Amino acid sequence: MKKVRTRYAPSPTGTLHIGNARTALFNYLFAKHHNGDFIIRIEDTDTERNVDYGVSSQLNDLSWLGIKWDEGPDIGGPFGPYFQLKRLKTYQEYAHKLLEEGLAYKDYKEGSDDYAIRFKVPLNQEFIFDDVIRGKLKFLSEDVEDWIILKDNGIPTYNFAVVIDDHFMEITHVFRGEEHITNTPKQVMIYEAFNWELPTFGHMTLIVNENRQKLSKRDVNTIQFISQYKELGYLPDAIVNFLSLLGWSPSDEEEIFNLEDLIKIFDTKRLSSSPSYFDPKKLRYVNEVYMKKLTIDQLKDLTLPFLKEDKINIISDDWLNNLLLILKDRLTYGAEITKYYHEFFDSNFKLDDNILNELLQFDYELLLNELLKKLNENPFNDSKSINDLIKEVGTLTNNKGKSLFMPIRIATTGETHGPSLPTSILLLGKETTLKRINETIKRAKGAKAWKKQYPFYHLV
């Protein structure tokens, strides 16, 4: 049996798009599942659209995702070169072979000796190929016009070059988007013209947006480039996990897999031909799952650049550790750290009516006033000393459990639930904590008086 060889062949016209990243991933997973090779080659013949960073950015993004290639433009290999512009002589040679055999003809430019070469489409012929996702597909030659294989400038067209490259690079399987289905008959013609063996094709489902329309680069409502997710502090393992679920499904209901898991379980029988919905909420959920697995040191490495970029003063390493302990369960991606930092330390302390209603269910006045007194008398050394102080206030006011912690949490954070209360108070600092408690007492006193005057009404 032939060694499995797959490829990802991008044009260097921009950065790595979600759809192209999925193509690369599925080719990589299939090759590695079968102990085969995964190759990258660059289709750079569209010179007017090529950009300087097109190759390096795509390779960097693929590497960031954890996708490794066995041959490619940066590392070489036995089937190079891996740039189409460096293979022009080969395309020209095989185009002229078809010309000599009468399977193609010259198409002269008007008023010039320059000519392109057109492939002569056979008459009354069926072109059939097996698609591992869609089954047997059939096209009639009468539906395809004679088409250019080599332009008058000596550069091949896509459908000709891709066959030459795949054949000589011994590509066995080609997984690509379904928009390439209509290209395949032309490619089959070339394979048959040279009496070459066809690779196995698999045309993956379209990726659609929330309106169930094909995901377009012009769709400004969806973040579509891998570099953008990297810049926002998404995790590469999460992106790979999410991409794997766009057109492929595991055999059970589990949906969280790392790259090694995916290589083991990847099965083409589980590939779908139905459109795949790019769900940003699901991507955030998957990323959040991976975020929760990070250690504090890993989370620090991820979030520190965003804190520094926002010019947030990192008081100490312990302070940062405590901040991350407080905010860790809220983060769905790294850049959110600044949003939650500002919400947590917002000087415009907010107590909405729902929260005030919660507070009024408790005997809070003595409790909060006693807390003010103790906080004024004691330094904020660490979360343990603050926790001891809260317990002491509870003993003095005969409060414990919810009746102790809920009013204090509301008065200091403006919320009814959250992470460690002593750590939250430590991070807020004495000045902010005292200010918020005083403001809460004042707001609650006014709300209580209003309720006394209008007992049949709620604050909300």
CATH class of 353-420+429-453: mainly alpha
What are the pLDDT digits (tens) for 389-399? 999 999 999 99
Q: Is 90 exceeded by the pLDDT of residue 356?
A: no
- Higher-pLDDT residue of 220 and 214 is 214
Interatomic CA distance for residues 114 and 151, integer angstroms: 9
What are the pLDDT digits (tens) for 83-133? 999 999 999 999 999 999 999 999 998 889 999 999 999 999 999 999 999
Q: Is 60 exceeded by the pLDDT of residue 451?
A: no
Contact between residue 387 and residue 393 where contact means Cβ atoms under 8 Å apart? no
Q: For position 450, what pLDDT does the model report? A: 55
Averaged pLDDT score across all residues of the chain: 93
Res. 183 pLDDT band, cuts 50 70 90:
very high
Res. 378 pLDDT band, cuts 50 70 90:
confident
DSSP characters for 261-319?
HHHHH--GGGB--SPEE--HHHHHHHHHHHHTT--HHHHHHHHHHHHHHTT-----HHH
Interatomic CA distance for residues 246 and 24, integer angstroms: 13
Q: For position 137, what pLDDT does the model report? A: 96
CA nearest 187: which of 352, 200, 404?
200
**353-420+429-453 and 1-75+205-293 share a CATH fold:** no
Q: Known catalytic residue: 186? A: no
Segments in 7-82 forming alpha helices (H): 18-33, 54-65
Q: Is 70 exceeded by the pLDDT of residue 456?
A: no
Q: Is 60 exceeded by the pLDDT of residue 144?
A: yes
CA distances from 428 to 113, 242, 316, 415 (A): 80, 37, 14, 14
Q: For position 447, what pLDDT does the model report? A: 66
Contact between residue 407 and residue 369 where contact means Cβ atoms under 8 Å apart? no
Ordered by start, the domain boundaries in the chain are: 1-75+205-293, 296-340, 353-420+429-453
CATH 2.40.100.20 fits 1-75+205-293, yes or no: no
Burial class from Cβ neighbours inside 10 Å (0-12, 13-18, 19+) for residue 420 reads middle
Burial class from Cβ neighbours inside 10 Å (0-12, 13-18, 19+) for residue 321 reads middle
Burial class from Cβ neighbours inside 10 Å (0-12, 13-18, 19+) for residue 190 reads buried
Catalytic residue among 68, 106, 217, 445: 217
